[in-house]
Amino acid sequence: MYKRILLAYDGSVTGQQALLDCHEIAQWSRSELTLIAVMPLPLTSIGPEGGVYSETVHESEKQRYQAILDTGVRKLAENGLVARGELVIGDAVTEIVRCARAIEANLIVVGHKHLDGWAARWWRGSISKSLIEHASCSVLVVITH
């Protein structure tokens, strides 16, 4: 049974659906819930060659991601569930796997939206596919179209 569930939450439509599915599973199994928002390192583009770290962008993005995380935790609380939230910075797959191991999660829940075209899929990669490869527990991928 799932006693500890980690939800990778970004506030998107797919994240909202994953939150609903996670809510149902947690309610049914009486699981501990942790929501994680992974903020990429904020870089300001300086051209095709790369970017530069910006403290201003970092702080505004941190506030934005924290607000998304707080909204997810509040939505779960409004439905009678207790969840804690954690904002981390870095590579999404690495941070989700690290957090799942740290809390000894039995299940990771992540949203996924099918991308149109092979080029979009190749360019962006798939966080959910990488999680399945690297996670030490089950991964539920909630798909929206």
Strands (E), 1-145: 4-8, 32-39, 43-45, 51-53, 83-89, 107-113, 138-144
List residues bridging with 33 in a β-sheet.
Answer: 5, 83
- Share above pLDDT 70 across residues of the chain, in percent, rounded to a whole number: 81
- Share above pLDDT 90 across residues of the chain, in percent, rounded to a whole number: 31
Provide φ and ψ at 117, rounded to 5°. Answer: 85, 145
Does the predicted model carry a pTM greater than 0.85? no
pLDDT at position 123 is 47
Per-residue pLDDT band for 63 (boundaries 50, 70, 90) equals very high
More confident residue, 24 or 88: 88
Q: Classify the C-alpha dihedral 4-10-14-19 as positive or negative.
A: positive
* Residue 44 pLDDT > 50: yes
**Segment 97-137, tens digit of pLDDT:** 999 999 999 999 988 765 555 554 444 557 888 898 999 99
**Cα(first)–Cα(last) distance of the chain, in Å?**
29
All structural domains of the chain, each given as residue ranges with its CATH number in brackets, are 4-144 (3.40.50.620)
